[in-house]
Amino acid sequence: SSVYAQTYVLNADSAIDVVSGKLISPATVVVEDNKIISVGKSNRKAYPKGAEVIDLSGHTLLPGLFDMHVHLTSDAHVHGYKRLQRTAPRAAITGVRNAKRTLDAGFTSVRNLGAAGYADIALRDAIIDGDVSGPRVNAAGPSLGITGGHCDNNLLTHEHKVFSEGVADGPWAVRQKVRENIKYGANLIKFCATGGVLSKGTKVGAQQYSQEEMTAIVTEAHLRGLTVAAHAHGTDGIKSAIKAGVNSVEHVSFVDDEAIQLAKDKGTYFSMDIYNTEYILGEGEKAGILPESLDKERKVGATQRASFTKAVKAGVNMVFGSDAGVYPHGDNGKQFSRMVKFGMTELQAIQAATINSAMLLKQNTQLGSLEAGKLADIIAVKGNPLKDISVMENVIFVMKDGRVEKQ
C-alpha cells in the first residue's frame, strides 16, 4: 500500500475510543500511508508537513465497521426458485456491486459466511488486488452441511441430483471438506448446525450435524488455524456447536439459559441478525421467498429478538452480524437501532461492530479501534452515535487501509 503513501489529518468534533467508551473532543486523527499515527485532541500546530487536511466538523470518527455475517454474492431481490438461475460467475459479479455498497455503508471488514463456487474468494482476491473496491473480506467458501440440510439446496426433485458443494456427512467427510475449502482459499469455516428459515424442507429448530460431526469440523479447522461459524437456530444445535468449540454461533434464535451459560464459559460469540425479520416479512414474498419460509420466519423473528435481549443481559460476547444478502447490502447499519431497541447500549452496539468483531477474527491488534499503530480503517457519521444510534445508517466518510473510499 506504499503506492498510496499519503498523510491525512482528519479533524472532527469527536472520536470514539470504542475500548473505554470515552469520547475524545475535538478530535484529530493523523494517518500516514495505511496506518494510524495518532489519535487525540486537536492540536493544529502539530500537523505533519504535506498532509491533506480533511474537515469533518459536525461529525464523529469511529473505527471501520465489521459485519460478521454477510453474503456479498447474494441479492435480496433474488430468493427461492429465482436463485436457481444464478451461476457462480454471475453471483461474483453481483458481489462486486455489493462489496462497494457495503464499504460505502462504513463496513470495512466482513465475514462472508458461505458462497457457491468460491465466488466470495474470487471477490476477496479481486479487492485485495485492487481490481474492485470493497471491504476486507474474510471468506468461507461453500458452507458445510448435511445432505438435505439448511446448507444443501433442496429445491429440485431427486431426478435432478442437485447437492450443494459443501454437503458432507460423517466425521471424516466433513474433515475432508474443511481441507478442500482451505485448499481453495477459505480463511474461515461455516457450517449449518440446524435447519433454517430460507431453506426448503428443513425444520428451523431441529439439529442437523451430530455432535461428533461438529467436533470433527471444529477440530480440523482449528488445527489449520481457521475460526468457525455455525448457523444454529435450535436449542440443541446451539449447544452442540458451542460444545464443539465454534468461535461464533449465527442467529441463536431459540437459545436457553444453559446455552447462554455454555457460551459464557467458552467465550463463544453470538452473531444475531435481528433486523432481518423485518425485511423477510415485509418484502420477502415479492423477492421469491417460499411460503413455508415466511411461515417459519413468523415463528423465529420475535423469539430471536427476545433471545438477543437475554444474551445481552447475561453478558455473552456479542458481534454485529446482519445476514445482508437476505436483505439489501448497504442497509447493514439499520441493525444498530434494533440492537439498542432490544437491549444494548449505544456503545455496546458499536463495540459489537468494531472491537468485539476484531477479537472474534483475532485481528484486534490490527483493527477494531482507533489507536496509533493500527490500520487506517476509519469512518465518520454526523452528530454523536452514542446519543442517537440511527446516525450509523448514514456513514458519510469512509477510509480503508489509509485510502479515502467515500467522502
> Which residues contact ligand ARG by CB under 6 A?
196-198, 251, 273, 276-277, 280, 297, 300-301, 304, 323, 326
Q: How far is the CB of 113 from ligand ARG (least distance, A)?
A: 9
DSSP H helices, 137-253, are 171-183, 211-223, 235-244
Which among 296, 323, 374, 377 is annotated as catalytic?
323
**CB closest to ligand ARG, residue no:** 196
Whether 113 contacts 73, CB under 8 Å: no
Q: How far is the CB of 301 from ligand ARG (least distance, A)?
A: 4
In the complex with ligand ARG, the residue whose CB is nearer, 220 or 297, is 297
- Under a CB-based contact definition with an 8 Å cutoff, are residues 271 and 229 in contact? yes
- Of 277 and 357, CB closest to ligand ARG: 277
Radius of gyration of the chain from Cα atoms? Answer: 21
Q: How far is the CB of 280 from ligand ARG (least distance, A)?
A: 6
Of the pair 197, 378, the CB lying nearest ligand ARG is at 197
Q: Is 273 a catalytic residue?
A: no
Separation CA 266–CA 164 (nearest Å): 31
- Nearest approach, Cβ of 3 to ligand ARG (angstroms)? 39
Select 94 or 304, whichever has its Cβ closest to ligand ARG.
304
Residue whose CB is less far from ligand ARG, 67 or 323:
323
Instruction: State in angstroms the smallest separation of the CB of 245 from ligand ARG.
Output: 22
Nearer to ligand ARG, 197 or 259 (CB): 197
Residue 323's identity, in one-letter code, is: D
Query: 206-210, long-range: CB within 8 Å, 24+ apart, which pairs?
Result: 206/234, 206/236, 206/237, 207/234, 207/236, 207/237, 207/240, 208/145, 208/146, 208/149, 208/150, 208/237, 209/145, 209/146, 209/149, 209/174, 209/237, 209/240, 210/240
Q: Which of 14, 7, 11, 8 is nearest to 44 (CA)?
A: 11
- CA distances 406 to 2, 169, 275, 373, Å, are 20, 45, 25, 22
Beta carbon of residue 387, minimum distance to ligand ARG (angstroms, whole number): 28
Task: Given the residues 190, 296, 334, 374, select the one marked as catalytic.
Answer: 190
Which string of DSSP letters, residue by residue, matches 341-372? HTT--HHHHHHHTTHHHHHHTT-TTTSSS--T
Determine whether 323 is an active site residue.
yes
Kindly list the catalytic residues.
190, 323
